[in-house]
Chains A and B, each alone.
Chain A
């Protein structure tokens, strides 16, 4: 290590301080992966946020201010997310949106809680649109965190409510990824089925390594020999599509009840073999009966973003509720917006939703959708899409779960 390298080091370390922009627009920092393997899903969500911001800006914005989404690439890494959070704070941003990965959400909730405690007057609010770990609205709940997606337990609650109306299903097989989320899903499934449909036999409950299995055929063969009538899985990403592919190629024709079959790119890989078989639990699908405005919104979104489908309706819900809360509070000060969001009721195209005051969890109607060839609106230009019939809607109030949250309000 000689002096020359030291001098160069010094030059590099003395990076000029970043300029702080003048506060003209209302900025929301979007901290999610925009590069690497999860880049496409982060990018799709970003374009939903941007479209939602455009919609709000067509009016007079939020509380008179135009909304701007500022994207930060966190590489889906919790530590990197904290560096990006500091960048957002330096820009004077007071609202953070994130969804991909409960590990990142956990880091952000913790960091924002501490930041707000240590820097009074500079509070930041976290709008979580997709990280579904139930802990965030139970033992880890925070006043500064609002979740606009139904958590993993609520979704399982809805799945099991739906099972109550399916007397033909007598044997269920549960398969999941071997980590906290997969285990939580399996635990929720076994306890809720035992409570609501004690006659259902759980013929298999299995965890497989996360992201390591390339061929699920042996697992599917076990399901076939266990004579399962339905399969429940919380799998996401490659683990989800590969499981469905193995099922279709093995001719395992039973319903697969999933959380994430509707995510970006999955439909293309699953293909026609999955029609009628794969189901997903979510807050909407694009083939539900809706008012014309919602149809126009979806059309507008898909015209502008021709390569992706309208998927994150909850982002529009989040933006709408943010707008309503800021109007009600007469301010965009996070603490006032947070107070106004608590207990807020809001009408969406798919029914009324409520933001619970006791744990900041949204209550929204959920739908069990089936992958179908007979649809008005398809996904990914396949001619295939998601549809649901009677008995597939679970009302918002029925998704509510008891919470262990002891909210500490400022």
Chain B
């Protein structure tokens, strides 16, 4: 009887246990992975090929203008305008976030209204509004509200292109950063603040030492996005003739008609700046990953995880440990 049962249930060529125990493990074939990788590599090769061989990119001209004095001046303006806009925007934005999180209904609604208004108006429109402020308010004056004035200015003199750009872009950053900061603060569990209060820590100390460091992991990636976005968005000021990186390039190609090479000069500089900022963001994120298990994700490990080429080394290291 028993032999009958085993004959019926076992497959005709069932391997013995000792064979199974010594068998090598083979991963499933993934032809789709290889095919898609091959297609992407071919596309990448085509892109590089055309960049190198298409004469009309005029790389020698690009090289010639890359360190042109006026381009470097434009680059300088782009960098400091971005920095000034970011700093101002974040100071205002943090205050707006605090207003939105406060218990005061007036502050709360004002904060909400500010974010709503600024986010509703396209940045280009805001920029033009500030640039054309003189036609709305020909004269600006300092003084007591509804009372006497101490000093007044002609708006058209005060609001040149750069100040208009600075104000418009700062307000834009303020509205978006307010939401980023508010989200970060809300991501910290209420128990953290209660524990700090129970220990007798003051409000400022609780914010600086307990809430903000824990909010940063949520704030930094979104802020990196905003920062890089704003770096490139400053190119919008070329429409009001502020000589930033892009406008400097445009001024040159308006004279010599080398449009593509000069756009490439501007593009490459934006790529350089974005690369520097991305690397900076990586280190800031790593700094604020204290006490979490995300810290070990170094560059090397990210590469090993994502590139099959490095995977082998990773496995070997894993096997040794």
Q: Do A and B come from one complex?
A: no
